[in-house]
Amino acid sequence: MDVPDLVEGELGGESVLVSVGIGGDDGVFLTPERTLVYRGEGLLSDESVSAHEHGFDRLELSEGRRRTSFTLHYYDREESFAVGSSHAQDVLRALLAAHLRSTGALEEDEQARGVYRFDELTLVVGTERLLKHVGGAVWSAEYESFPYAGLTRLEFEEGNHALQVVIAVEQRPERIKVHNDRAPEVRRTVEQAIFAFHEVDSLPALNETVAPEEPDEESAPAENDYADSGIDSLLDDEPAESTGSTAAGDTTTAATTTDTASGTADADATTATDDAATDTAGADAATTADSDTDGFVSATDKAVLTRLETLEEKVDEQTTLIERQQETIEQLVDELRRGR
């Protein structure tokens, strides 16, 4: 809508980013720093404009059948204005978006596609993030932000009385309960904003695009890489071949000892032969011990792998249980807040 001369004079060089008509010649004009509420001249009042700074501490709404009052709480004062209830949603979306941009919750050029209020929950669907606020006021400093850039999953779980928006950022899921009477609108707005951000046209395509990358199987070490690198595998499946090689080497040593001893005396030869037999027996025992050790390591590795698989299953079960408990807690908190 056109900017009235009285509003132009109040701007003082500021630019109007958004304007919302509120009936007749009246309108709300928003700049980066302020909200200007214009009232045209009428039978009971003169032309006027009131200015309200952004960056307030808290915003509250008092909704009536015909009029909705906006109360802005600052640290040292309160300011308020009222509009027709049929225009309240449009004014709320524009005012809240301007406030969130001024406080850094939204980027300077980021828009709010939708603002939804459910009991004490306020949901703001921005063009780059989803904002969730829980409290008695429409908005305050306590809120949660879910940027689309870090999105790893989006799902919608339908229930008898509410829709659960499941949004995961960096693989951390958050469930947001939406009343069924607004569920289709909320889902459509959330999908449109996120689909546009990631340049997809469907929920399956989105989840495929944002899903965490799986480890590349080709980059994993091949089974024979350890052998090629010259490092003996701890899981030796052919202990018999190793035993035969050791025994052969020890027998050669024993034979050499016997030949050397025979050049001196028969008694010494007998002694050398006994020593060679002892050495051969020791080598066989060592080889047997090595074979047993190989078997022991193999069994241990299998036991460790089994325990790891069991632990992974337990972790998955605990994660599922925690998510169910979180849903139950949220339901209890919601009912307690409604005085049930």
pLDDT at 283: 45
Domain extent for 130: 104-212
Q: Which residue has the tokens 């569920």?
A: 183
Tens of pLDDT, residue by residue over 22-51, are 998 899 999 999 999 999 987 777 899 999
Helix, coil or strand: residue 65: coil
Asked if 253 and 325 sit in the same domain, the reply is: yes
DSSP state of 139: B
Contact 265, 325 (CB under 8 A): no
Examine residue 225 and state whether it is found in any structural domain, yes or no: no
| Alpha carbon distance 175, 195 (integer Å) | 19
Name the domain count of the chain. 3
Question: Tokens 């807690």, residue?
Answer: 329
79-111 pLDDT tens trace: 999 999 999 999 999 999 999 999 999 999 999
Name the 3-class secondary structure at 41: coil
**Sheet holding 18-21: strands in order across?**
18-21, 27-30, 34-39, 48-53
- Residue 275 counted as domain residue: yes
Beta strands in the chain (DSSP E): 18-21, 27-30, 34-39, 48-53, 58-63, 67-73, 78-84, 112-118, 121-126, 129-134, 144-147, 151-158, 162-169, 172-179
Amino acid identity, residue 265?
Answer: A
Q: Check whether residue 85 and residue 111 sit in a common domain.
A: no
- In this structure, which amino acid lies at residue 22? I
Same domain, 25 and 115: no
Whether 47 and 112 share a structural domain: no
With cut-offs at 50, 70 and 90, classify the pLDDT of residue 124. very high
Q: Return the CATH number at 147.
A: 2.30.29.30
Within a domain: residue 171? yes
Residues 81 and 179 in one domain: no
* Same domain for 140 and 61: no
Same structural domain for residues 277 and 306? yes
Inside any domain, residue 152: yes
CB-CB contact of 272 with 261 (8 Å): yes
Q: SS3 of 172, please? A: strand
Together in a domain, 109 and 205: yes
Give yes or no: residues 295 and 198 share one domain.
Answer: no
Same domain for 7 and 49, yes or no, is: yes
Q: Does residue 217 belong to any structural domain of this protein?
A: no
Q: Are residue 111 and residue 184 in the same domain, yes or no?
A: yes
Query: Does residue 232 sit within a domain?
Result: no
> How many angstroms separate the CA atoms of 153 and 204, rounded?
10
Alpha-carbon gap, residue 171 to 339, rounded angstroms = 34
> Where do we find the tokens 């996120």?
194
Q: Tell me whether residue 97 is in a domain.
A: no
- Token pair for residue 118? 């459910």
**Most confident stretch, 136-140, 149-153, 159-163, 178-182:** 149-153
The domain boundary residue, chosen from 91, 121, 140: 91
Query: Which residue among 66, 91, 116 closes a domain?
Result: 91
pLDDT tens across 306-319, in order? Answer: 888 888 888 878 88
Examine the fold and report which residue of 91, 116, 145 is the final residue of a domain before the chain moves on: 91
Residue 253 lies in a domain: yes
CATH number at residue 58: 2.30.29
Mean pLDDT, rounded, of the chain: 79
